[in-house]
Amino acid sequence: MALRLHPGGSILLPKGIPPVSGRHMWRINRFDGGLAVRLSAKVVCPDCRRRLTTIIRGKNVPFFQRSIASTSNRLGATTAELEQSEPLAQPKIVPPLDQSTTAVDRVARRKGVAKSPTIWTYLELSKPRLSVLILLTTMSAYAIAPYPASLSTLLFLSTGTFLCSASANTFNMISEPDFDALMSRTRNRPLVRGALTTQQATTFGIASGLAGVAILGAGVNPVVAALGAGNIVLYAGVYTPLKRRTILNTWVGSVVGGVPPLMGWAACSPDGSLLSHPGGLILAALLYAWQFHHFNSLAWTMRHDYARAGYKMMPVTHPELNARVAFRYSIACLPLCWSLVACGLVDPWYLVDSTIVNAWVVWKAYKFWKEGGEKGSARGLFFASLVQLPAVLVLAMLHKEGLWDWIWEKDELEGELEVEPESMTAKM
């Protein structure tokens, strides 16, 4: 009769038997009218090194508290059963992983390949949440610009910007699927799990990029189209390769984030000029500065994944610099928002609103710097940055210079109408 212990059991190894990893398999044999326990396997679990425990009649009985005779009787073991017992099957040995396979191959083999990709699968290539954020910053700059707006131009701008962003993000995924498979945040992307082939993703990236640039050029102006095409090249061709070479990739990525406001501003300004008003450059600088405390706090929480994938990110190679840079650029958002008032783009009340929001973010960035990202300070700063960007942009739109003049003009007109009857009565 043979007994095999559950992996959760524990065992006391006899002296002289070297420990190895795995499970213990034991056989009970008859020796001179009694039973003896003999080790018959070659695999030993570390947790099984202390004492041998088997379940007898639903009760755990340690080996040293159990008599050999009672063990045989309780198990109903006979001499014939013991002598005719078959040898235990050796544990199945899993063959080593083929080193030639990539991480993407292993993930795709585990999750399976989609038979027919849907439109939602292709939409995943665009990184929808990131693309929507880029779209909102572009539309915000278009709304804040002090020039006449057009609904048709806004529709062309929105469509073209989203397609350009989708193209850039698609080429980003195409260039690093093996590294995405090593990170928990990106291991479920379409190319990693095998939902799309590289050829399908390439076709989608080229088509969306050409369509986006064409729409911007035909429906908006050539300046916006050139900015859209340049941002695709900058993000997919410069920023993506730099992530594995130098921490300067963060600064290049921040430039990418600062281009969408310029696209919105150029779409609204006369002849697509970026220098017709300093407000466009200030908005671009604001988005550039915002990228640092937003991304650095996120990267801190993912630093182990970045290190595993071999990315040269500040929290991996220069953690102290990562926190300092986030703190510095969070402070820079204060004077940049004040500059919108100084150039006459928004009314003076924006000083109060924006300062409250930015001061809160600076406080979070200060805690991130002092705590070194620990004690939840990284997540706190990341959440604050998610609130800060839409808050300062929406407030800028609400405080746009001249937006509420019609209310004051109405009050002045009513006052003039009241004065005229009084003057006519005095003349009579």
64 and 199, same domain (yes or no): no
Please name every residue paired with 38 in a beta bridge, in sequence order, or none if there are none.
27
For residue 398, name the pLDDT band (cuts at 50, 70, 90): very high
| 129 lies in the same domain as 145 | yes
- Listed residues 232, 261, 276: the one ending a domain: 276
Decide if 7 contacts 21 (C-beta within 8 A). no
Q: Kindly state whether residues 225 and 282 are assigned to the same domain.
A: no
Q: What residue numbers bound the domain in which 374 lies?
A: 278-403
pLDDT at 23: 41
Q: How far is CA 17 from CA 2, 43, 44, 91, in A?
A: 20, 11, 10, 19
Same domain membership, residue 252 and residue 122? yes
Statement to judge: residues 285 and 255 lie in one domain: no
Q: In angstroms, rounded to a whole number, what is the distance separating the alpha carbons of residues 166 and 170?
A: 6
| Residue the block writes with tokens 């004690």 | 375
Gap between the terminal Cα atoms of the chain: 127
Phi, psi of 373 (to 5 degrees): 90, -10
What pLDDT is attached to residue 408? 64
Residue 182 included in any domain: yes
Q: In terms of domains, do 287 and 227 share one?
A: no
Residue 21 CB contacts under 8 Å (≥ 6 apart), including other chains: 43, 44, 45, 46
Comparing CA positions, the residue from 398, 387, 383 lying closest to residue 352 is: 398
Q: Are residues 242 and 188 in the same domain?
A: yes
User: What mean pLDDT comes out for the span 93-115?
Assistant: 50
366 or 41: which leads in pLDDT: 366
Q: Are residues 121 and 261 in the same domain?
A: yes
pLDDT of residue 117: 80
In a domain, 90, yes or no: no
pTM, 2 dp = 0.70
Q: Which of 387, 130, 397 is nearest to 257 (CA)?
A: 130
Q: What is the pLDDT of residues 184-229, one digit of tens each?
A: 888 889 999 888 999 999 999 999 999 999 999 999 999 999 999 9
CATH number of the domain that residue 271 is part of: 1.10.357.140
Going from the C-alpha of 102 to that of each of 130, 177, 180, 185, 369, the distances in angstroms are 27, 10, 11, 18, 38
Q: Is residue 416 part of a domain?
A: no
Q: How many domains does the structure of the chain reveal?
A: 3
Exposure b/e, 178-196, CB count within 10 A at least 16 = b: bbbbbbeebbebbbbbbbb
